[in-house]
Structure 1
Amino acid sequence: MTYCVAIKLNAGLVFLSDSRTNAGLDQISTFRKMIVYEKPGDRFMVLLSAGNLSISQSVREILQVEQIKDHEGGDPITIWNAKSMFDAARVLGAAVRHVYDRDAASLKASGVEFNVSLIFGGQIQGEAMRLFQVYSPGNFIEATPETPYFQVGESKYGKPVLDRVITPDTPLDEAAKCALVSMDSTLKSNLSVGLPLDMVVYEADRFQTDRVMCIDDQNPYFQMLHGSWGQKLREVFDSIEDPTWDGGATEVPLMVASARNKPLKKITSPKEKLI
């Protein structure tokens, strides 16, 4: 499986992906799921992929040469000449459909579902940063201030910390830390997601970045974050009182009078009770 997350902030963009793929307990491999498309001073784009590896690799290759027609009669649009991230996302959608038209029928005949999920974001000169999630049919949605991040793959374990921390005003470094905590939570709970990680942090209006890194199990910051997050969670958990049923010395009893209906209680015999 896979876990990828991308965050859109006022200050920039954060992209993070793992690199584990597996087709069974004894078929575990490492493949990068992130690719950066950069033309310094003009455009900066990042693609994250999850799903069937053969499909996502085909999409990545075709994307670099895929064209769509310009309705105004101009030159065909590619990711390298698109005037907006929306048009670049349209090219990506066309690349997905290209692979579908070529491979979907033969995959289905072999019992394989056409399954790919993509996150595509960046900035093109002349417009603000944009972030999209692209689905298997090639359609897509865009991140908003109310939903400033996207996840693909094993998203459930890393979602809670993103929901609690990330807003459009979150600083870039804090968002990068939050993405790494989100990934660490996923690594802890799901063996199908694994190191090394690929991370890109992009500052708005730069159209290039040198903050591109590969994080393995020897990375000192990730080792520190992994240990500190687990320890701090335990400390917070221990600082919360255990439930006290009848009040006693606590001001926050668990069992209190309520206007709601009482839990169902059925007594089946003097020796047996079901609640």
Structure 2
Amino acid sequence: MTYCVGMRLNAGLVFLSDSRTNAGVDQVGTFRKMSVFELAGDRTMVMMTAGNLSISQSIRQLVTELKTEDGHSIWTVPSMYEAARILGEAVRQVHERDAKGLADFGIEFNVSIIFGGQIKGERCRLFQIYSAGNFIESHDENTYFQIGEAKYGKPIIDRVVSPATSLDDAAKCALISMDSTLRSNVSVGLPLDLLVYESDKLAVSHFVTIDERNEYFQMIRNTWGQQLKTVFEGLETPLWNAAPETPGNVLHSANTNSKPVRVAPPSGVTAPLASPLPLQTLSQQFHDGQQ
């Protein structure tokens, strides 16, 4: 599996991908999933892929060769939208060629792509392309796309990233998002590729491959975990069965009629007590301890 995230900001674009393609007890595959198409001074485009590796590699090769009806290629089209259309057509052509053969062996045609960049004369743009070759574009309401194991790293991005976020802060957020994914899913792994593109540069601004020895990423991993624990420990514990006049941070009030859904036992099964014990509450425990 994999995890990739791309962010479109007012200041530019941020791309981050892992490099694990298979995870098992004795077999771990590592392939880089980020590819850059660049003509310095004219266009910079980045593609990240998730899904079947053979499909992804076929698409990457084909997209460099395809041309539109008017003779344009990904290297000459005037807009990122047209470049995304060429990429979508490459997906469809690979599907037409390989999908049935894969299906005969019980293998699903599975690929998803994040594609973004800038062509001279227009703004930065970001797209997500699906297995059918169709795609959607990022706008201010949705400034990022994720593919692969997206769920673990999504919450931090939702809370932090907006179009106004700086490139450095977005890169930091992407790395925290990746760290959360690495900790929760063995199918995502180092090394990582991080690319930051500054708007109107028309060339890669910053790029780094991150392995387990990278000092900044190790700092992120250690500090983020420690800070999360500190914040967690600083939150008040829940207050149960509180008096109606108790101010603030009440989870459950004494006048709240909340009961669990109890499943009736089958006939012939009796409880050792005539009736269930009353629910013990944290506030009762606290007050009992004070008496």
Q: TM-score range by the shorter chain?
A: over 0.9
Pairing 1:52-71 to 2, within 5 Å after superposition: 52-70=52-70
Does the CA-based 8 Å contact 1:266-1:273 persist in structure 2?
A: no
Structure 2 counterpart of 1:154, from 138, 149, 152: 149
Q: Residues 77-132 of structure 1: CA distance to partner in whole angstroms, max 9, x if unpaired?
A: 21100100000000000111111111111101111000000000000011111100
**2:123 alignment partner in structure 1:** 128
Indicate how the Cα distance of structure 1 residues 130 and 210 shifts in structure 2: closer, same or farther if over 3 A, else same.
closer
How far residue 24 of structure 1 moved from its aligned partner, in angstroms, is: 4.2
Q: Which moved more, 1:190-199 or 1:238-247?
A: 238-247
**2:289 alignment partner in structure 1:** none
Q: Does 1:27 align with 2:27?
A: yes
**Matched letter for residue 245 of structure 1:** W
Indicate how the Cα distance of structure 1 residues 208 and 271 shifts in structure 2: closer, same or farther if over 3 A, else same.
farther
**1:255 alignment partner in structure 2:** 252
How far residue 68 of structure 1 moved from its aligned partner, in angstroms, is: 2.1
Structure 2 counterpart of 1:171, from 166, 172, 180: 166
Q: TM-score, normalised by structure 2?
A: 0.87
Q: Does 1:84 align with 2:79?
A: yes
Q: Residues 17-50 of structure 1: CA distance to partner in whole angstroms, max 9, x if unpaired?
A: 0000116443211100000111011000000000
For 1:95 and 1:213, locate their aligned partners in 2 and report how far apart those are by CA, in whole Å: 28
For 2:172 and 2:252, locate their aligned partners in 1 and report how far apart those are by CA, in whole Å: 38
How far residue 199 of structure 1 moved from its aligned partner, in angstroms, is: 0.7
Give SS of 2:193's match: strand
**Matched letter for residue 114 of structure 1:** F
Give SS of 2:142's match: coil
How far residue 247 of structure 1 moved from its aligned partner, in angstroms, is: 3.5
How far residue 254 of structure 1 moved from its aligned partner, in angstroms, is: 1.6
How far residue 266 of structure 1 moved from its aligned partner, in angstroms, is: 4.7
For 2:54 and 2:275, locate their aligned partners in 1 and report how far apart those are by CA, in whole Å: 57
Does the CA-based 8 Å contact 2:116-2:125 persist in structure 1?
A: yes
How far residue 243 of structure 1 moved from its aligned partner, in angstroms, is: 1.3
Q: Does 1:221 align with 2:216?
A: yes
Percent identity of paired positions between Structure 1 and Structure 2: 56
Which ranges in structure 2 are unaligned for 5 or more consecutive residues? Answer: 265-270, 280-291
Structure 1 counterpart of 2:237, from 236, 239, 242: 242
For 2:252 and 2:27, locate their aligned partners in 1 and report how far apart those are by CA, in whole Å: 50
**Matched letter for residue 228 of structure 1:** T
For 1:86 and 1:98, locate their aligned partners in 2 and report how far apart those are by CA, in whole Å: 18
**Matched letter for residue 63 of structure 1:** V
Does the CA-based 8 Å contact 1:68-1:94 persist in structure 2?
A: no
Does the CA-based 8 Å contact 2:45-2:117 persist in structure 1?
A: yes
Structure with greater Cα Rg? 2
Give SS of 1:80's match: coil
Q: Residues 132-161 of structure 1: CA distance to partner in whole angstroms, max 9, x if unpaired?
A: 000001000000100000000000000000
For 2:14 and 2:145, locate their aligned partners in 1 and report how far apart those are by CA, in whole Å: 11
**1:73 alignment partner in structure 2:** none
**Matched letter for residue 263 of structure 1:** K
For 1:257 and 1:86, locate their aligned partners in 2 and report how far apart those are by CA, in whole Å: 59
Does the CA-based 8 Å contact 1:66-1:91 persist in structure 2?
A: yes
Q: TM-score, normalised by structure 1?
A: 0.92
Does the CA-based 8 Å contact 1:267-1:273 persist in structure 2?
A: no
How far residue 265 of structure 1 moved from its aligned partner, in angstroms, is: 5.5
Tell me the matched-pair count: 269
**2:93 alignment partner in structure 1:** 98
**Matched letter for residue 250 of structure 2:** P
Structure 2 counterpart of 1:114, from 109, 124, 134: 109
Give SS of 1:218's match: coil
Does the CA-based 8 Å contact 2:5-2:145 persist in structure 1?
A: yes
How far residue 182 of structure 1 moved from its aligned partner, in angstroms, is: 0.3
Q: Does 1:186 align with 2:184?
A: no
